C-alpha cells in the first residue's frame, strides 16, 4: 500500500469529487437537522439569547447552503450583528450570497490546512472527515477551538483510522471516554460540549484514498498512524 501525503491527497479524485455534503440545507429533508440531529439555526438563536452573540464554523461546508440559510434567517430577524458565520471547503462551489448578508464568510482551503484563529460556539463537520488525511489532527484542532459554552459535532468513522500494532478503535474510544467526548458507533457521530485539550499521542504516516466505500456507500479515505515512542 502506498500512503499519500496531505499535499498529494488534495489532488485525489476521491477527495476532490466527493459530494457527501454539497447541497445540504440547515433544516428540512436533506439537512444538518436530519443528518447530525442538530438544527443550527435553533442553536444560534439559543446561544444569542443566552450569551448575546454566536460564532459558527462549518468545516467542509460544500455549497454552504446551511450557512446561507442561517445567515438569511438572522438577517431577516435583525440579528446579524450578533453573529459571525464561517464556511470552509476545498473548492469554491458556494451558492450566491445575498448582498444583505454581512455575517457570513467563506474560506477555500483543504481541511488539514485549517488552523483555528479563534474559539467558536459551534463547530460542525458533516461527512467531511471521511475525506481528510490526518483525521485525528483535525479532531484535535476542533476540540481545542470550542468555547467553554460551545459545541462540536461531526460525522466520524472510527474504523477509518489505523494505528500500527494496536486496536485503534479501542484506543481512540478510551481517549474519548477519558475526555467526556461522546461517540456513537451506530450513527458515527462525535459530539463534545466545551473545550477539550486532547493529545492522541500518535504520528501521522499518511492516507489511503483507495480504501473504498465506507458506511455511507461512498469512497472514503483511511488514515494511518504510529504511536509516539515515549522511551
- Report pLDDT digits (tens) over 73-105: 999 999 999 999 999 998 888 999 999 999 999
Q: Is the pLDDT of residue 36 over 70?
A: yes
Angstrom distance (rounded) from CA 113 to CA 115? 6
Share of residues in the chain with pLDDT > 90 (%):
78
Q: Model pTM?
A: 0.95
| CB-based contacts of 26, cutoff 8 Å, min separation 6 | 32, 33, 39, 40, 41, 65, 66, 67, 69, 70, 73
Q: Is residue 58 part of a domain?
A: yes
Q: Are 130 and 221 in contact (CB under 8 A)?
A: yes
**Consecutive H or E run containing 189:** strand 189-193
Average pLDDT score, the chain:
93
Q: Is residue 47 part of a domain?
A: yes
Q: Is residue 53 part of a domain?
A: yes
Q: Where are the alpha helices (DSSP H) in 64-149?
A: 65-76, 135-143
pLDDT confidence of residue 23: 78
Angstrom distance (rounded) from CA 39 to CA 25? 10
Other beta carbons within 10 angstroms of residue 134's beta carbon come to 21
pLDDT confidence of residue 174: 98
CA distances from 89 to 109, 125, 129, 147, 229 (A): 6, 10, 12, 22, 34
Q: Are 213 and 221 in contact (CB under 8 A)?
A: no
**Confidence at 40, pLDDT banded by 50, 70, 90:** very high
pLDDT confidence of residue 41: 97
Q: Which domain holds residue 26?
A: 6-227
Angstrom distance (rounded) from CA 229 to CA 231? 6
Q: Is residue 28 part of a domain?
A: yes
**Consecutive H or E run containing 40:** helix 40-51
Q: Is the pLDDT of residue 21 over 60?
A: no
Q: Is residue 1 part of a domain?
A: no
Angstrom distance (rounded) from CA 56 to CA 144? 15
Indicate the number of domains in the chain: 1
The residue ranges of DSSP E strands in 97-142, in sequence order, are: 104-108, 120-125
pLDDT confidence of residue 117: 83
pLDDT tens per residue across span 92-142? 889 999 999 999 999 999 888 888 888 999 999 999 999 999 999 999 999
Q: Is the pLDDT of residue 17 over 70?
A: no
pLDDT confidence of residue 19: 55
pLDDT tens per residue across span 164-220? 999 999 999 999 999 999 999 999 999 999 999 999 999 999 999 999 999 999 899
**Confidence at 148, pLDDT banded by 50, 70, 90:** very high
Q: Is residue 169 part of a domain?
A: yes
pLDDT confidence of residue 18: 55
Q: Which domain CATH number covers 130? A: 3.40.50
Amino acid at each position: 500500500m502506498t500512503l499519500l501525503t496531505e499535499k498529494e491527497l488534495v489532488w485525489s479524485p476521491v477527495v476532490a469529487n466527493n459530494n457527501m455534503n454539497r447541497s445540504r440545507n440547515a433544516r428540512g429533508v436533506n439537512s444538518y437537522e436530519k443528518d447530525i440531529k442538530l438544527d443550527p439555526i435553533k442553536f444560534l438563536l439559543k446561544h444569542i439569547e443566552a450569551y448575546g452573540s454566536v460564532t459558527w464554523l462549518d468545516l467542509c461546508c460544500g455549497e454552504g447552503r446551511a450557512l446561507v440559510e442561517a445567515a438569511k434567517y438572522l438577517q431577516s430577524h435583525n440579528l446579524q450583528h450578533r453573529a459571525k458565520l464561517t464556511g470552509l471547503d476545498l473548492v469554491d462551489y458556494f451558492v450566491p450570497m445575498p448582498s444583505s448578508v454581512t455575517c457570513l464568510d467563506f474560506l477555500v482551503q483543504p481541511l488539514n490546512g485549517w488552523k483555528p484563529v479563534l474559539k467558536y460556539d459551534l463547530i460542525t463537520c458533516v461527512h467531511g472527515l471521511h475525506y481528510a488525511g490526518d483525521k485525528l489532527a483535525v479532531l484535535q484542532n476542533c476540540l481545542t477551538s470550542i468555547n467553554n459554552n460551545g459545541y462540536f459535532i461531526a460525522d466520524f468513522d472510527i474504523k477509518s483510522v489505523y494505528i500500527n500494532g494496536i486496536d485503534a478503535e479501542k484506543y481512540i474510544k478510551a481517549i474519548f471516554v477519558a475526555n467526556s467526548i461522546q461517540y456513537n458507533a451506530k450513527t458515527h457521530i462525535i459530539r463534545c460540549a466545551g473545550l477539550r485539550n486532547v493529545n492522541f499521542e500518535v504520528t501521522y504516516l499518511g492516507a489511503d484514498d483507495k480504501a473504498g466505500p465506507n458506511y455511507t456507500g461512498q469512497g472514503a479515505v483511511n488514515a494511518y498512524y504510529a504511536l509516539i515512542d515515549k522511551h
